[in-house]
Structure 1
Amino acid sequence: MAIDTTTEPTASPVPPLGNPRLSTRDKLVLFVLCAAQFMVALDFSVLNVALPELGADLGLSRSGLQWAVTAFALPSGGFLLLFGRMGDLYGRRKLFLTGLALFGAASLLATLAWDPESFLAGRALQGLAAAAIVPTGMSLLTTTFPEGPARDRALGISGTLLSLGFTVGMIAGGVLTDALGWRSTMALLTVFALIVLPLAPGLLPKSLPHGLKGRGGAPVPDRPRLDVPGAVTVTTGLLSLIYALSTAADHGFARTDVITGLIAGLLLLTAFTVVESRSQAPLVSLSMLRRRTVAWGNLGGLVTFSMMSTVIFVLTLYLQEILHLSAFETGLVFGVQGVLSAAAGTLAPKVIGRFGARRTLVASLTGQGALVATLLLLNAHTWSVWLATAAVSLASMCHLGAIISYGLTVTSGVPDEEQGLATGLVTSTQQVGITVGIPLLGVLATTSQDLLSGVHTVLALDAAIVLAAAVLVGLGLRRGQSRV
């Protein structure tokens, strides 16, 4: 891979205090980066309601339909850390553009798929492209916008669109499938890629491959080395864990491949820590993981993502199977959630600017846990739909506050040359969180003889975990930097 040799320009100067006003170019850069993140978030959910029609059309069995999701989740989660570090070493802009091009081509393949194999290949390539787009896009954002109000605002917009992407995907997937068929959901992603890709090269700053520094910070001509043993162990370890957890969500934890995947994943990640402690050029610096803000911030991110995905899952079951709402009516409930999440995205940077990311993270986790606890009042009466709508929408506002503040907590104070690594950890936490919640807790609802009782059990555990995390994160970050 050729190395860019131009230095990485910064965004136009932004006042350090109070005024997060962005220049026109800054806004265009932010549009490109956020549009790409929105596209990937859309891909996580837009296909869900189309799966039955897709299976009938391509001949995928019910058990095979899980691979429409798993084929995307495996590479998108497994390669995040690797691609985040490759962006640091070889140029983020180049890897970001490569990911966009691959995403567009993969979406077209999935749109035109003629059999299960070609469709699943397209989904796997989409996941691989997402693993390149997400960490490099996030690190381009954090290195373009300096710490302070400008970065707070940029991450607020990015977090809002990330949340909206999931919600819009659920609604758009149903509308498109009913009107045009399942292929239109993949075609939508192709169109997104075709819009973003031509704009990106002229707007995004070129990046100097980091790690090419000699004594006194002087550049040296040697190509940076990639930690191959670390890359192999962490990637295969994450792939094993994500496969096991994704399979367990549909088939339970008793299957041999699930147990094997969990054990292999844990052993490989343990081996990864040993490799990194001995490597001269580690993929993940253990000193990075020992940063108070990185460790506790990512714990907050893991909990908020995993527990909120579980709430959405069990509420979908509750609304459709207990209150007997249609798919469209269920979509409207989550549509309200999306609107309030967007409002939270505009408020969160202001709250962070006043109280700091650490306090905002702890308060957001506390609010999310408390509001999920109110869902224990749900029953089989139709009026409960109003409680469900209000509680999940307000909990999602807190959830979005946690997303933005944990991203700021983890990346604040990290040198530019390690931003790809830090944002790779942030996005890996997101992917693992989204993957792990439903298998660990959602299965308690799906296997319960009384669905309402199972939903209550899941919600009680969910709220308790989030509230406990709020306490732990607050204590862990107490001695952190003043800003976070």
Structure 2
Amino acid sequence: MAIDTTPSVPDALDTPRLSTRDKLVLFVLCAAQFMVALDFSVLNVALPVLGADLGMSQSALQWAVTAFALPSGGFLLLFGRMGDLYGRRKLFLSGLVLFGAASLLATLAWDPASFLAGRALQGLGAAAIVPTGMSLLTTTFPEGPARDRALGISGTLLSLGFTVGMVAGGTLTDTLGWRSTMGLLTLFALIVLPLAPALLPESRTPDRPRLDVPGAITVTGGLLALIYALSTAADHGFGRVDVVAGLVAGLLLLAAFVKVESRSAQPLVSLPMLRRRTVAWGNIGGLVTFSMMSTVVFVLTLYLQEILHLSAFETGLVFGVQGVLSAVAGTYAPRVIGRFGPRRTLVGSLVGQGALIAALLGLDTGHWSVWLATAAVSLASMC
């Protein structure tokens, strides 16, 4: 489902001109967010080449993605609150240092263990960069046209990062090898890090809310357990003891999180807000879409290169088309929502996505399958 998150653009006469310092601050924050978005996609098309070089089986390749997703998703809420308490600038810089060092480790990886360690540390750095970066952006630029403009630029670059990552990943892999995809992220960190300390102001919540330790432990532990269990089940099935234990522990911890948050005076997450119908449906739709499309991209990457023998560059172009059409659809999404309403738009989009992804069941070893795959994933991303 394509949703345009770009704020409405104010009239040009009312939009203030940004000072040189404001532009540099915006560059630093947007470059960091773009770097993280790039990391979500730049490695995908390089997976077959990476696996062959490091001796990773196809079933183990999913950990190249999962090792990043586990900490980046699991620690996001915790690091966001820690930034509020102890300083967003401080945590943002710490995340940048960790992300850059981890990217260098992944670039120089000598075996699967060292590479996966680098990916996991990248995810931990991203979990610190994303929430603190967005908070710094909203606190640096005053509410109104200036903030709207900054958020618009940031949202555009985030969306662009996923598309650029696919195309850049294929190009770099075919020309310089898979290690250059991780080297590109190291370069981004080296560009941003020297500028950030001098430009970014410190920012924290004035009333110094308490860190909801029980909530942080239960939600982080629950997410980590569930992601681990589902990732392991994809390789070994749901019958393994560690998979069952992970699922049970994850569900129990998340149930405990809900109970803790309902009693906490300063919760990590506002449960009444999550119970709002529009928020709940939006979260469900986002969960379905993200999990479905992430799986499709991973499987199609292996299919296009291992079965249809496309190069990494050609595979990147397939997903590049998807990204471009998704961005185009995002510009029309507000009109569609305005005409049909949020609920009808969401349901229609999910049904459309499901039908288009189901069409991939018709793929075989024929070269025409490239066109079917391109059309299906591109149209699905527009829904």
**TM-score bracket, shorter-length normalisation:** 0.7 to 0.9
2-side partners of 1:362 and 1:75: how far apart?
Answer: 34
Whether 1:197 aligns to 2:193 is yes
Tell whether the 8 Å contact from 2:219 to 2:253 is kept in structure 1 after alignment: yes
Report the equivalent of 2:74. 78
Shift of 1:359: 4.5
Q: Given that residues 285 and 346 in structure 2 are in contact (C-alpha distance below 8 angstroms), is that contact kept between their aligned partners in structure 1?
A: no
Task: Tell me if structure 2 keeps the 8 A contact 1:95–1:132.
Answer: yes
2:117 counterpart (117, 121, 125): 121
> Once the 2 structures are TM-superposed, how far is the Cα of residue 194 of structure 1 from its aligned partner?
0.9
Residue 174 of structure 1: aligned partner: 170
- C-alpha change, 1:390 and 1:361, in structure 2 (3 Å) is farther
- The aligned amino acid for 2:285 is G
* 1:343-422 equivalences in 2 (<5 Å): 343-344=328-329, 347=331, 352=334, 359=341, 363=345, 366-367=348-349, 369-370=351-352, 373-374=355-356, 379=362, 385-386=370-371, 388-398=373-383
Measure, in 2, the Cα distance between the counterparts of 1:252 and 1:149: 52
For residue 38 of structure 2, the aligned residue among 28, 36, 42 is 42
Instruction: List aligned pairs for 1:38-187, cutoff 5 A.
Output: 38-60=34-56, 64-144=60-140, 154-187=150-183
Match of 1:232 in 2: 217
The offset of 1:287, in angstroms, is 3.5
Residue 269 of structure 1 aligns to a residue whose secondary structure is helix
Tell me if the contact between 1:160 and 1:344 (Cα under 8 Å) persists in the aligned partners. no
Q: Shift in Å at residue 80 of structure 1?
A: 0.6
Q: CA deviation at 1:243?
A: 0.9
TM-score when scaled to structure 2?
0.80
- Given that residues 38 and 165 in structure 2 are in contact (C-alpha distance below 8 angstroms), is that contact kept between their aligned partners in structure 1? yes
SS of equivalent residue, structure 1 residue 24:
coil
Structure 1 residue 188 corresponds to structure 2 residue 170? no
Comparing 352-361 and 25-34, the one that deviates more: 352-361
Question: What is aligned with 1:299?
Answer: 284
Q: Deviations over 1:39-73 (max 9, x none)?
A: 11222232334445444544555554443333222
Structure 2: distance between partners of 1:67 and 1:330? 20
> Does the alignment pair 1:273 with 2:273?
no
**CA distance in 1 between partners of 2:266 and 2:217 (Å):** 14
Shift of 1:210: 3.8
| 1:249 CA drift (Å) | 3.0
Q: 1:367 to 1:384 in 2, by over 3 A?
A: farther
**Cα contact 1:149–1:353 (8 A) shared by 2:** no
Q: In structure 2, how many angstroms separate the alpha carbons of the residues matched to 1:354 and 1:377?
A: 24
Q: Which moved more, 1:77-86 or 1:139-148?
A: 139-148
Call closer, same or farther: CA 1:200–1:138 in 2, change over 3 Å.
same
* Contact 1:66 1:250 (C-alpha < 8 Å) held by counterparts: no
Which stretch shifts more, 356-365 or 27-36?
356-365
Does 1:246 find its partner at 2:242?
no
- Conservation of the 8 A alpha-carbon contact between 2:29 and 2:137: yes
Go from structure 1 to structure 2 and tell me whether the alpha carbon gap of 1:314 and 1:53 turns closer, same or farther (over 3 Å shift): closer
Structure 1 residue 31, shift from structure 2 partner: 3.0
Once the two structures are superposed, what CA deviation does each residue of 1:240-298 show, in whole Å capped at 9, x if it has no partner?
A: 01111222233333332222111110001111122223334333343443445543432
In structure 2, relative to structure 1, the CA distance for the partners of 1:315 and 1:145 (3 Å cut) is farther
Rounded to whole Å, the distance in 1 between the matches of 2:334 and 2:142 is 15
Q: More deviation in 290-299 or 182-191?
A: 290-299
Distance change (3 Å), C-alpha of 1:48 and 1:320: closer
Q: Which consecutive residues of structure 2, in runs of 5 or more, have no partner in the other structure?
A: 1-6
Offset of residue 74 of structure 1: 1.6
| Residue aligning to 1:24 | 18
Q: Give the letter aligned to residue 72 of structure 2.
A: S
Change (3 A) 1:249 1:358: farther
Q: Which residue of 2 aligns with 1:480?
A: none
Give the 3-state SS of the residue equivalent to 1:270 in structure 2: helix
Structure 1 distance, partners of 2:16, 2:88, is 22
Q: Tell me the distance in 1 between the aligned counterparts of 2:304 and 2:56.
A: 27
Deviation at 1:133, TM superposition (A): 0.7
Paired with 1:163 and 1:16, the residues of 2 have a C-alpha distance of 17
Residues 301 and 32 of structure 1: CA distance in aligned 2, closer, same or farther (over 3 Å): farther
1:160-214 deviation digits (Å, cap 9, x = unpaired): 43333333333333332333233222211110111122233344343133433xx
Is the 2:171–2:316 Cα contact (8 Å) retained in structure 1? Answer: no
5+ long unaligned stretches in structure 1:
1-13, 213-223, 399-484
- Residues in 2 aligned to 1:98 and 1:357: alpha-carbon distance in whole angstroms: 45
- 2:29 alignment counterpart: 33
| Whole-Å separation in 2 of the counterparts to 1:293 and 1:76 | 26
The code of the aligned residue for 1:23 comes to R
Check whether the contact 1:152–1:353 (CA below 8 A) recurs between aligned residues: no
Q: Which residue of 1 aligns with 2:313?
A: 328
Match of residue 259, structure 1, among 244, 267, 277: 244
TM-score between both structures, scaled by the size of structure 1: 0.65
CA drift of 1:76 comes to: 1.0
Q: Spell out, residue by residue over 1:340-367, the C-alpha distance to the aligned partner (whole angstroms, 9 max, x if none).
A: 334455x36xx64997799468636634
1:439 corresponds to: none
